[in-house]
Chains A and B, each alone.
Chain A
């Protein structure tokens, strides 16, 4: 018997090849066009004050908060849609096109294939969010300087004391591009990573892209009520059936409410002690769990 080279799972180089290939595939599917739309809207809003439409009372820090809010909202929309749709599309497409045969006929462990595919989607979301974050920071910096200049001129004319002017200036700067705001974008990424790994898990046992996409969005929706389900399980005076349902939802669905910390950050708040590391750890736990389940299913799958 001849002894070929050992091809152990989780080879970083091989995973890197599949990750970069998946990233290229998505880029060539013109996913980045979304960034162009985002940039146009962001720059347009700065030039033409789109965020004031329908809200003529917006002024000062409200304008900045509005830019932060809809920028983060757009990033969430983009990352959730790409996380579900791109992941749901890639695996079944490889099976349908039989490209998967040629990949698995090479010395590629199935775990490496799954990790690489997920890695490619996450890399795309990360790069997209980074570009959007930089664009948002640039526009916010410009806008903040304008608002600060207007406010300082107005309150100086009104004869405010220097200390109060400085306090107002700091308050306004706090609504500009802060590290907490970048942290919020990172939380958007973490949430997208959990959603993408959920979609990957579903796609390993589903045979249809449509089913994976719908179920992926459904899991995201139900995941926003996971905390309530947990409360139901631990609550008193509930029937065994309700307890069972609560336990089922709390076990299967990731708790997406945890990521709502973003709302506080948009309002100018900061991470509370240990909040970000806990979110990183929890996201990592969910991604690894989903990958593990995906691997268990995919390892036995026949093509």
Chain B
């Protein structure tokens, strides 16, 4: 099957003012994302994540290597017919309302008339902004801006969605809404390529992950494989009595090759606790 994204030996250098040597932002990066996959690119600030995404969108030109989207050279305008992009901290036009914003981007993609209006309504519902659709973006919160940004990325029903830090600066509730939207895209078979600093969220939504550091891809593969600790096994029990736990301990200690490393109550995350006590509590 044709990959949604194919980046081969991508190199990108910048020449900052006052510096003789060029700065290599992306150094021989290769990756491939299958259709329908959710791929997360993670790395510290300045590691080359955004530059890789911009090269894929034709916003910067590679010094060498190539980027292809569903087999089309990403420097060609036509390749963007199948791509939706949400940049990091997007501002959009404050003078437009949410619905007008979606209409503007829809028209740029060739949508017209009833089809466009139907799509605008559908997307506003999808990102839970139907009631705020006629308000100007100047009055939107950060989370609402991210959601309208995601809606504009989806306006032409792209097969690939690129999200650059989609939850940057968004509170945990807004962050979870965006996470749910990514799950929804995955269910619909849309390929998602995202980069984020929120590692827990990447772990939650991504099928495959690439770790980029100083412009180089240092680790890449399916998330389950990358996270599995080869010589350890996890057993989680519910309703286990102290007697049963004692029996298990004794059983493990009777095996010379095995060692019980840790036993105790599993802990939730602070994010899950926060959501449980705020957003989930509000639900009827």
Contact = CB atoms under 8 A, between A and B. Distances in A.
Interface string A96-111: 0111011111111100
Given A102-B85, A102-B105, A106-B109, A4 B59 contact: no
B2 A1 contact: yes
B131 to A, nearest CB: 22
Interface residues of A, number: 30
Given A17-B104, A303-B60, A107 B81 contact: yes
Contacts of A28: 95
25 contacts: A1-B70, A2-B71, A4-B72, A4-B81, A5-B78, A7-B77, A17-B107, A17-B108, A18-B108, A24-B96, A97-B90, A98-B89, A101-B85, A102-B92, A102-B152, A104-B57, A104-B59, A105-B57, A105-B80, A105-B87, A106-B80, A106-B156, A107-B77, A109-B77, A303-B60
A273 to B, nearest CB: 44
Interface in B153-194: 153, 156, 162
B82 interface: yes
A186 B140 CA distance: 42
A105 B54 CA distance: 9
A203 B1 CA distance: 44
Contacts of A109: 77
A55 interface: no
B110 interface: yes
Contacts of B58: 104
Contacts of B274: none
A18 to B, nearest CB: 8
B59 A14 contact: no
Contacts of B70: 1-2, 4
Interface in B67-110: 70-72, 77-93, 95-96, 104-105, 107-110
Contacts of B96: 24
Contact of B78 (A4, A13, A18): A4
Given A4-B70, A98-B88, A99-B92, 9 more contacts: A4-B72, A4-B78, A4-B82, A13-B110, A97-B90, A98-B90, A102-B85, A105-B80, A105-B85
B87 A98 contact: yes
Interface string B41-73: 000000000000010011111000000001110
A7 B77 CA distance: 7
A99 B93 contact: yes
A108 B57 contact: no
A81 B61 CA distance: 35
Contacts of B77: 7, 107-109
Contacts of B156: 106
Nearest to B162: A105
Contact of B54 (A4, A99, A106, A303): A303
Interface in A90-131: 97-99, 101-109
Contacts of B92: 97, 99, 102
Given A99-B90, A106-B105, A6 B78 contact: yes
Given A21-B104, A302-B59, A302-B61, A101 B78 contact: no
A6 B110 CA distance: 11
Which 4 residue pairs are nearest across A and B when measured between Cβ atoms?
A: A1-B71, A105-B85, A4-B81, A97-B91
Interface string A223-261: 000000000000000000000000000000000000000
A25 interface: yes
Contacts of B84: 105
Given A14-B108, A105-B83, A302-B59, A7 B78 contact: yes
A108 B108 contact: yes
Contacts of A21: 93, 104
Nearest to B81: A4
Contacts of A6: 78
A37 interface: no
A158 interface: no
A101 B59 contact: yes
Contacts of A2: 2, 70-72, 82
A29 interface: yes
A101 B110 contact: no
A106 B107 CA distance: 10
- Considering residues A17, A105, A302, which has the most beta carbons from chain B within 10 angstroms of its beta carbon? A105
B217 to A, nearest CB: 22
Contacts of A24: 95-96
